[in-house]
Every structure is written in C-alpha cells, then in structure tokens.
Amino acid sequence: MLTAILTVVGLIILTVGIVWLIDKFVPKKIKPILNLLLWVLIIFLGYLTFDSVYGEIKFNQLKEKRYVVVIESLKDIRDAQLAHQTVTGKFSNNFDGLIKFVDTAKFTITQRRDTTIIDEELTRRFGGVETTRDIVLIDTLGFVSVKDSLFGVDSRYKTMMNVPIGKEGSVFKLEAGRLVDEDIAVFEASVDKEIILFDQDKNLVNKEKQVVAVDGVNGSALKVGSMTEVYTKGNWPKSFNSKKED
C-alpha cells in the first residue's frame, strides 16, 4: 500500500508542478481549460490516495472481527481434543469421532492420597523388626460427562467442524498423529485465511497471508495446535483473546 500511496502522491506533486508551468508559459486563452482538467486530475488522484488508505483500514477492521469469531470455534476444537487426549491418550483425526466422544465420554474423578504401609520384605530382612514405607494411592471418586464439563447445555460442539464465518460451506482441516522421534500425540486444526476473507480484495488477502508480526496472525492460515511440535495453543496473539467482548 505504501508504494501505491507514494506513487499517487508523486503524481499529485507532478500535476501541481504542471499547473504552475501552465500558469507561467501557456497562452491565456487555453489556460483555464488546462487548469480545470489538471485540477480535476489532482482531485481524482487525491481520492485514489484516500481510498487506498481507508480501504485497508476497513479491511483490517473486518479481518479482526472475523478472526475473533473463528478463534472461538478453534478454542472449542482444542478443548474437545485435549479432553480426548486426557481420556484416550491420543487426539482424534476426524470430527465425527470427536463429536461422538464429547457426546458419550466421561472424565474420571480421582483423588490422590499418601499413606504408610508395612514393608513386608524389609521387615523379614530385619528379623521381624516392623519397617514401613510411604506409597501414593489413587482413589476413583466418580465420573463426569465430558459434554457437561466443556459445553454444559450448549450443543455448539456438534457443528464445530464448520467455519462460522467466511466462505459458505467451509470446514476446518483437522489432523492428528504422533511425533515420530518422541512418540507424543499432536493435533492441528486450521482454516486458510483466504476462506475467511473470501469476499475481500485479493491483493490485501495475499498480503495478509504473508504476515509476520508480533501483533498479527502469522502465516497463511488461522490454526490451533501443531503437527510438527508439542503445541496446543493458537497462532493468534493474546490480544485476540480479549476482543470477543469488544
């Protein structure tokens, strides 16, 4: 955008210079017509400059509003995946299985307590002198529904595969697996920025897909998790977490 603005500003300055030259050297008979045409050109170039600046401002405002909506859905997917890992030890690689899990699975409520018991082996070794050792016991207290814990009475998890705003009919891409070297479960849910901003200026969308900034959503997609490292957060800055109420 900066290059375009500088180009337009340069043309405006050049046009003003031409107006000055006309005023100095062009015969008076045709001077009014040329001046009028040149001032029309100056106004038009000024409008282009304003429109290019304001257009990007509007794009950024709309982009942030849409990102906030999509981020809320990605958070739901992440919460469901983390629950899936807690119960099963792995992440789900498809939404049908993940939704069924939320519908039917239960968290186990446990209690950890320390206790002391007689160590029979050491007691025998010491000739019958009673010897004790400390152990940790895990007691199962009960079970609680994953659905109730994460979503309460809200059924939005049943449609969490759908991208909530942007190109109609779009769904999130969901992957899951394990890191080969570390044998650790990983997952990633993502959607291309081009889907979220499908109806916006293509040049601005392409520029947004190349963003690398501390306060921006880096890369070509909005995503949570990673298939290449142990990471369950999103690629958006913390500032987006507080914009839902704005």
Per-residue pLDDT of the chain (246 residues; tens, 9 = 90+): 555 555 556 666 766 666 666 666 666 666 677 667 766 766 776 666 666 666 788 899 999 999 999 999 999 999 999 999 999 999 999 999 999 999 999 976 656 777 777 777 777 777 777 777 777 766 666 668 999 999 999 999 999 999 999 999 999 999 999 998 888 999 999 999 999 999 999 999 999 999 888 888 999 999 999 999 999 999 999 888 766 544
- Whether 7 is in a domain gets the answer yes
Overall number of domains in the chain: 3
Residue type at position 24: K
pTM, 2 dp: 0.72
CB burial class (10 A; 0-12, 13-18, 19+) of residue 129? exposed
Looking at the fold, whether 17 and 33 belong to one and the same domain comes out as yes
Map residue 83 onto helix, strand or coil: helix
End-to-end CA distance of the chain: 28
In sequence order, which residues have a C-beta less than 8 Å from that of residue 204 and are 6 or more positions away? 55, 56, 59, 197
Per-residue three-class SS string for 139-159: EEEEEEEHHHHHHCCCCHHHH
- Whether 58 is in a domain gets the answer no
Looking at the fold, whether 47 and 92 belong to one and the same domain comes out as no
DSSP 94: S
Looking at the fold, whether 92 and 180 belong to one and the same domain comes out as yes
Looking at the fold, whether 30 and 97 belong to one and the same domain comes out as no
- Whether 59 is in a domain gets the answer no
Looking at the fold, whether 49 and 69 belong to one and the same domain comes out as no
- Whether 116 is in a domain gets the answer yes
- Whether 185 is in a domain gets the answer yes
Show the tokens assigned to 152: 């309460």
* pLDDT value of position 245: 44
CA atoms within 13 A on the CB side of 211: 20
Domain interval for residue 232: 65-105+155-242
Dihedral sign (CA 89, 233, 103, 94): negative
Looking at the fold, whether 25 and 87 belong to one and the same domain comes out as no
Looking at the fold, whether 112 and 211 belong to one and the same domain comes out as no
Looking at the fold, whether 112 and 198 belong to one and the same domain comes out as no
Instruction: Identify the H or E element spanning 200.
Output: none
* pLDDT value of position 139: 62
